[in-house]
Structure 1
Amino acid sequence: MDSQDPVLVTEPRPGVLLITLHRPAVRNAINRPLAQAVDEALTRLDTDPSLTVGIITGAGGHFCSGMDLKVFPTEGVPLVADRGLAGLTRARIRKPLIAAVEGAAVAGGFELALACDLITAADNAFFALPEVARALVAAEGGAIRLPGRVPYHVAMEMLLTAAPLPAADAARYGLVNELTSPGQALSAALALAERVQAHSTDAVHVTKRIVQDTRGLDDHTAYTVQAPLSAPVFTSPAATEGSRAFTEKRPPVWQG
């Protein structure tokens, strides 16, 4: 296991970069060193051609309790340049990201999970955006992303009253992809990563890019944006291999 920073542990698995927030004494609250370490790990994920999927989880039975309020008065919000909280919430990460949530995913911690593409969660985990209780605002994606992920009135109750959302309810609303028994969120995330890895890397990356670039656009504009992204995929060697594998009733063999 490679410890790049006292507050972050990264562990490469075949094609997967496991990023573990490692400040368990404070439920993995984000300070500037942790924010910088996460940003560096995400850069590694996006630039290392041997890595195809990233998983973010937390040590000590919790995902993340958000920014470290003890140092907030002196350090402010631990943003990384224009990439947002911990270099993730406003970043455009090219490769798929999975959040594996145990225990609390609160405030900025929940916003990290919302910035991921897939979420697994233990059935005793919970999500919350309690910023209003601290005279703050969920400004790193909570107020922007959550109303599009769960019913509007559920999102507004969370945002305006600081009410927590149990993982079981989050799964019922479609916010969580897979609900697990306690301690198994990471195993479920690794299984999801393996399912993603079974497919063409280029097709996966382009699909994520299309979703990112067309969100909120009308259909006509969305197709216009999609065209130059998708066209190369249809003429790629991988597309030919995928078609041949289907015809020959065999698993595809992706190159590169």
Structure 2
Amino acid sequence: MSEDPQQPAVLTERRDGVLVITINRPEVRNAVNGAVAQGIAEALDTLDADDELRAGILTGAGGFFCAGMDLGAFVKGESPWYGDRGFAGIAQRGARKPLIAAIEGFAVAGGFEIAIACDLIVAAEGAKLGIPEAKRSLVAAGGALLHLPKRMPYHVVMELALTGDPMPAERFHAYGVVNRLAPAGGALDAALDLAAAIAENGPLALAASKEIVQRQFDWTADEQWAKQGEISGPVFGSEDAKEGASAFKEKRDPVWRGR
């Protein structure tokens, strides 16, 4: 099947405060070319800039997530990197707001690195995840070798990197890399449920909590409390914090204003 030039490489859809971002190149297993990198980067810009959007979901069309870099496009001179966001428009700088990867079928090579650039992962049972770059004498330089050792056992990361063999989503779930397993075909629905639970919470608190969790690895033990205070302090003094306390006391749903 040839690629339809009329179809965008990345689709976006708004669902109740959640932006669903879909890599839309099923004819090449959603491989990342320049258009995909730009499309994801622009979708993340939209997610972060729009106050009506509370969370995002990144998924793939055609029953699978992403096969990684489009080698054919790369050979022709296309770059799968975009601006300061890096590979696929996400690997080096993701979204400020919570972002969930919803994986069907497989997420391998750069596709898996896209997934781990998200904050949470929902995967269909039986989906395959891995970094097979070594099988092509390449290196998983899109973030996997930097991030995975912080998230799962060292020797398992070595097995992934040195054999290049994928592992089932169930094993990644056991290590805590995959947050939730879903029936085959149900990853997006499960991700929407997770996004809905996130979207109920205060947007300032979400952004601050995410920033603290991500940045703490760069802080020394002496810096941690002060750095956390710099980020969390404004949230405690916000209108939303007062609204959250008032809503709890009055037994009603809070109305967040993001300030």
Q: What's the TM-score once normalised by structure 2's chain length?
A: 0.93
Show the counterpart of 2:147: 145
Equivalence for 1:16 = 18
What CA deviation, in whole Å up to 9, does each residue of 1:159-218 have, x standing for no partner?
111021100111111111110110000001000110001110111011111122222423
Alpha-carbon distance between aligned partners in 1 of 2:45 and 2:250, rounded to the nearest angstrom: 39
SS at match of 2:72: coil
> What is the match of residue 98 of structure 2?
96
CA drift of 1:224 comes to 2.1
For the residue of structure 1 that corresponds to 2:243, the secondary structure is: helix
Give the match for residue 138 of structure 2. Answer: 136
Match of 2:233 among 221, 231, 234: 231
Q: Report the equivalent of 2:82.
A: 80
Q: Larger deviation: 77-86 or 61-70?
A: 77-86
Q: Whole-Å Cα distance in 1 between the matches of residues 167 and 94 of structure 2? A: 27
Indicate which of 15, 28, 44 corresponds to 2:46. 44
2:115 aligns to what?
113
1:178 aligns with 180
Q: 1:244 aligns with which of 226, 233, 246?
A: 246
Which amino acid letter does the alignment assign opposite residue 40 of structure 2? Answer: V
Secondary structure in 2 matching 1:75 = coil
Q: Report the CA distance between 1:241 and its aligned residue.
A: 2.0
**Equivalent AA in structure 2 for residue 185 of structure 1:** A
Q: Match of 2:215, SS?
A: helix
* Residue identity in the other structure for 1:180: A
Distance of 2:160 and 2:111 partners within structure 1: 14
Once the two structures are overlaid, the 10-residue window that deviates more, 237-246 or 227-236, is 237-246
**What residue identity is the alignment partner of 1:8?**
V
**Within 2, Cα distance between the matches of 1:15 and 1:253?**
14
Matched with 2:212 is: 210
Cα distance between partner residues in 2 of 1:196 and 1:222: 25
Distance 2:176 2:94 in 1: 23
Q: Which amino acid aligns with 2:9?
A: V
| Alignment deviations for residues 117-174 of structure 1 (CA, whole Å, 9 cap, x no partner) | 0100000111010111111111110100111111111111001110211001111111
Match of 2:190 among 188, 191, 200: 188
What is the CA–CA distance in structure 2 between the aligned matches of 1:250 and 1:103, rounded to whole Å? 41
Distance 1:92 1:227, change over 3 A: farther
SS at match of 1:229: helix
Letter matched to residue 6 of structure 1: P
Q: Percent of aligned positions with the same letter in both sequences? A: 51
Which consecutive aligned stretches of 4+ in structure 1 deviate over 4 angstroms post-superposition? none
Instruction: Report the 3-state secondary structure (helix = DSSP H, G, I; strand = E; otherwise coil) of the residue aligned with 1:70.
Output: helix
1:122 correspondence with 2:124: yes
Question: Is structure 2 residue 180 aligned with structure 1 residue 169?
Answer: no
Q: How much does 1:247 deviate?
A: 3.1
Tell me the SS of whatever aligns to 1:105. strand
Query: Could you tell me how far apart the structure 1 residues matched to 2:79 and 2:142 are?
Result: 10
Verify the 8 A CA contact 2:91 2:117 in the aligned structure 1: yes
Contact 1:213 1:225 in 2 (8 A): no
Q: Which residue of 1 aligns with 2:3?
A: none
Structure 1 unmatched ranges of 5 or more: none
Q: 1:35 and 1:206, CA in 2 relative to 1: closer, same or farther beyond 3 A?
A: same
Letter in 1 for 2:80: P
- CA contact 2:170–2:181 (8 Å) conserved in 1: yes
TM-score, structure 1 length as denominator? Answer: 0.94
Q: Which moved more, 1:117-126 or 1:240-249?
A: 240-249
State the one-letter code of the partner of 2:66: C
